[in-house]
Amino acid sequence: MRVLLTGGMGFIGSHTAVVLQEAGHEPVLFDNLSNADRSVANRIERITGRAPQFIEGDIRDGALLEKVLREEAVDAVIHFAGLKAVGESVVKPLEYFDNNLTGTLRLLEAMRASGVKRLIFSSSSTVYGTPAHLPLQETDPTGEATNPYGRTKIMIEEMLADLCRADPEWSAVCLRYFNPIGAHPSGLIGDDPNGIPNNLLPYVSRVANGRLPFLNVYGNDYDTPDGTGVRDYIHVMDLARGHAAALPYAMSHTGWRAVNLGCGRGYSVLEVVAAFEKASGRRVPVKFAPRRTGDIAANWCDPALARELFGWEAKLTIEDMCRDAWRFESMRAAEAAAQTQS
- The pLDDT tens digits for 82-92 are 998 888 899 99
For 269-292, letters b (16+ CB in 10 Å) and e give bbbbbbbbbebbebebebeeeeee
DSSP 8-state class, residue 122: E
Average pLDDT in the 42-59 region?
A: 97
Average pLDDT in the 42-60 region?
A: 97
Q: Which amino acid is at 106?
A: R
Catalytic option among 96, 128, 149, 203: 149
Q: At what angle do helices 318-341 and 200-208 cross, to 10 degrees?
A: 50
pLDDT of residue 342: 65
Q: Are 318 and 233 in contact (CB under 8 A)?
A: yes
pLDDT higher than threshold 90 for residue 214: yes
Query: Rounded CA gap, 48 and 54, in Å?
Result: 15
Q: Is 267 a catalytic residue?
A: no
Query: Rounded CA gap, 338 and 330, in Å?
Result: 12
pLDDT higher than threshold 90 for residue 272: yes
Query: Rounded CA gap, 55 and 334, in Å?
Result: 29
pTM of this prediction exceeds 0.75: yes
Query: What is the tens place of the pLDDT at every residue in 331-342?
Result: 988 887 777 776
Query: Rounded CA gap, 245 and 120, in Å?
Result: 11
Domains (range + CATH), the chain: 2-341 (3.40.50.720)
Share of the chain above pLDDT 70, in %: 100
Query: What is the tens place of the pLDDT at every residue in 93-129?
Result: 999 999 999 999 999 999 999 999 999 999 999 999 8
Residue with more model confidence, 247 or 126: 247
